[in-house]
Every structure is written in structure tokens, then in C-alpha cells.
Amino acid sequence: MRIWNRIIRLYKRCFWSLEKRALHEGVIMGKQNRIESYFWSSAEPYLITIGSHCDLTEGSKIYTHGGARVARGEYPDFDVFGKVVLGNRVYVGSGAMIMPGVIIGDNVLIAAGSVVTKSIPSNVVVAGNPAKFVCTLDEYIKKNNCFNVGTKSLSPKDKKVFLLVQPDEKFVKKGYIQVPD
């Protein structure tokens, strides 16, 4: 019996999409999401709800509990959980972590590496550890629209050819960090 369980687990890992695996584990999910990593970090994926048109990029994680083991010395059955809800059109950048009990509104961009410890309203961009408000989504689009090259419908090969001939002004550039005197 054990060998069959191992074979079934291996089959699921090799042949099921991450979205199908998440749904099988109990994640409640809308339509047309892009899942790039095994994002649920606990045995309670059924406490996670994800809307539609969301991107969970490589290395992003969603936590529904944590830290209880420390309290179990005094309280052996100690367990604390928090449901996590992502609205529609949420982008979770690479390596971002969403903590238990967080609710994220619609149209939210979470920057790579962010640690989300508080709920986020709709239509904003957040970044950092802990994640903080950066700007509204409208401000982000307005600021970056001049860099929009419209390549989404191109094949990877055509996109490469197109991007390699663009002038430097078409690419985002970041300013330098302020160094104290």
C-alpha cells in the first residue's frame, strides 16, 4: 500500500499542474490564474482563497499558520491559524511572502521579496519587508506607461528581436541609493 501512495504522489508531482495540485489540496481558486510555484506552505491549503487572473510567481509563499511550536512547551495543543484571501488580478512577485490572516483586495501588485503582514486594500502597489504602500495602481500605470512596449502578443523569438533594437529610453531605469556623507 505504501508503494502505491508513493507512486501516486510522484505521478501528481510530475504530471499535474500546480493549479490542479492546489485545487486538489483544497485551495479555493477562481479562473485563469498563473501559478509558478508550490505556494502554500502548510498542511492547511484549504484556508487559502485566490480570485481570478492572479499571478503567483516563482518562490512566492502563502502561510496560514506559524510559530505555534514555541508556545507548545506551556500549551501542548497550541495552534493558531489565519485564512488568506487574494482578490482578483493580484500579482505576487517572486519570493514574496503573505502571512496568516491577510486579505488582499483586487488589482494589487506585491513587489518581489515583500513580506505582507497586514491586509491590503484594492488598487495599490506595495513593497518591502514589511510591505508598505508605494503608490496607487493608477499612479503606477501612469508613471510606467512611457515604458510600455506592447510586446505581450509577440512570440518569445519576436519579442527578443524587438527588445534588442529598442533605445535605452524604452527601458525602466532605477536611481541610485542615497549614501550619507
pLDDT at 165: 94
Q: Which pairing describes strands 132-136 and 124-127: parallel, antiparallel, or unpaired?
A: antiparallel
User: CATH number of 2-137: 1.10.40.30, 1.10.3720.10, 3.40.50.150, 2.160.10.10?
Assistant: 2.160.10.10
Q: What cell numbers appear for 68 in the block? A: 505555534
Q: Alpha-carbon distance 88 to 55, whole Å? A: 10
Query: Phi and psi (nearest 5°) for 140?
Result: -60, -45
The DSSP symbol for 169 reads G
pLDDT at 64: 92
Whether 48 contacts 60, CB under 8 Å: no
Four-residue CA torsion sign, 35, 112, 146, 142 = positive
Domain ranges in the chain?
A: 2-137
**The model's pTM:** 0.85
pLDDT at 1: 66
Q: What cell numbers appear for 147 in the block? A: 515604458
Cα dist from 109 to 21, 27, 135, whole Å: 24, 21, 10
Whether 89 contacts 50, CB under 8 Å: no
10-residue mean pLDDT profile of the chain (181 residues): values are: 76 76 87 86 87 95 87 89 96 96 98 98 98 97 93 94 93 91 83
Alpha helices in 31-131 (DSSP H): 68-71
Question: Nearest CA to 115 among 100, 134, 128, 125?
Answer: 128
